[in-house]
């Protein structure tokens, strides 16, 4: 896992998802260096609500085809124009980790255009509990923090309870910038739990208990000085480290 899909794998997945014969035929056609006809055709269909065409773009974007970058750009345009509904549907249909992480990046990037953002946040929160692949889980959590922004405190508090240490750390760092007094009990519990845990140390990263302590101090200071504002994700540019390696989605680690 983690290697880009070749065209034969794309076609096999497409057939397994019962793509219409015309879309399968388009995917089977060899792709030249400047050939974007397949991407343009799929984007036009997906823009009209054709889910199979959106799935095809997702497969191409995560592949080794020469039109992969063009397909990724098309996904972004569709997400901006139509919101995240079709992307979350593709996430449900396609099990490949690279494809799923690609979709999660685009779901997050559509934040400013997404009229159904609360529904997307609820979808991601549910998937975080279900997903087993650690890299996909990291991208789910990252997308959730991007989408939820300043109105996602409840999601971040729930993420503190996550069994995957780097997701709890992500939540604590996010709450450092946007948390309110509602987060204090959960952060206290998280800090105590992490003190008792032999947490793996990451280069350049503080211990999770120390990260929680910083978040607690930042929130208490904001509560004492409310006129200084609530804060935002942009105040903590180093909040998110790279996703874990070892179980897929290697090609996407530098896209966030």
Quickly tell me which residue has 């990260």 as its tokens.
211
Angle subtended at Cα 154 by Cα 156 and Cα 101, rounded to the nearest 5 degrees: 45
List pLDDT tens digits, range 158-187. 999 999 999 999 999 999 998 999 999 999
Alpha carbon 1 to its chain centroid, in Å, reads: 18
- Assign 228 a pLDDT band (cuts: 50, 70, 90): low
Q: Which residue has the higher pLDDT, 113 or 254?
A: 113
CB 68 within 8 A of CB 218: no
In this prediction, residue 196 has a pLDDT band, given cuts at 50, 70 and 90, of: confident
Cα distances from 128 to residues 97, 134, 144, 174, 240, in angstroms, run 14, 10, 9, 17, 17
**Cα separation of 205 and 139, whole Å?**
19
Could you read off the pLDDT of 27-57 as tens digits, one per residue? Answer: 988 787 677 889 999 999 999 999 999 999 9
Work out the pLDDT band at 255, boundaries 50, 70, 90: very low
Spell out the residues 6+ positions from residue 235 whose beta carbon is closer than 8 angstroms to its own: 177
- Pull the structure tokens for residue 142: 């990252």
Average pLDDT over all residues of the chain:
83
Phi and psi angles of residue 5, each rounded to the nearest 5 degrees, phi first: -65, 140
Position 70 pLDDT exceeds 50: yes
Instruction: Report the pLDDT value the prediction gives residue 147, as an integer from 0 to 100.
Output: 84
Distance CA 122, CA 140 (A): 11
Place of tokens 């966030």: 256
Mean pLDDT (whole number) for 111-131: 81
Give the model's pLDDT for residue 36. Answer: 86
Query: Which letter does DSSP use for residue 62 in this model?
Result: T
CA distances from 247 to 5, 53, 96 (A): 15, 27, 11
Terminal-to-terminal C-alpha distance of the chain = 20
**pLDDT band, residue 113 (cuts 50/70/90):** low
How much of the chain, in percent, has pLDDT values that exceed 70?
Answer: 80
């Amino acid at each position: 896992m983690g290697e880009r899909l070749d065209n034969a794998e794309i076609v096999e997945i497409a057939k397994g998802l019962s793509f219409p014969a015309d879309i399968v035929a388009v995917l089977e056609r060899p792709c030249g260096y400047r050939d974007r006809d397949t991407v343009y055709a799929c984007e036009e269909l997906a823009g009209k609500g054709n889910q199979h065409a959106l799935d095809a773009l997702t497969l191409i974007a995560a592949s080794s085809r020469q039109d992969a970058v063009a397909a990724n750009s098309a996904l972004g345009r569709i997400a901006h124009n139509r919101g995240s509904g079709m992307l979350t549907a593709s996430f449900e249909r396609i099990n490949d980790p690279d494809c799923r992480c690609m979709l999660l990046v685009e779901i997050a990037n559509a934040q400013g255009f997404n009229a159904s953002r609360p529904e997307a946040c609820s979808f991601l929160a549910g998937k975080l509990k279900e997903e087993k692949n650690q890299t996909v889980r990291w991208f789910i959590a990252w997308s959730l923090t991007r989408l939820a922004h300043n109105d996602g405190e409840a999601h971040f508090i729930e993420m503190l309870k996550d069994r995957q240490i780097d997701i709890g750390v992500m939540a604590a760092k996010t709450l450092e910038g946007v948390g309110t007094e509602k987060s204090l009990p959960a952060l206290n519990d998280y800090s105590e739990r992490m003190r008792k845990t032999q947490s793996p140390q990451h280069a350049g990263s503080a211990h999770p208990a120390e990260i929680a302590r910083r978040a607690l101090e930042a929130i208490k200071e904001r509560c004492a000085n409310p006129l200084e504002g609530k804060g935002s994700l942009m105040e903590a540019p180093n909040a998110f480290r790279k996703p874990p390696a070892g179980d897929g989605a290697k090609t996407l680690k530098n896209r966030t």
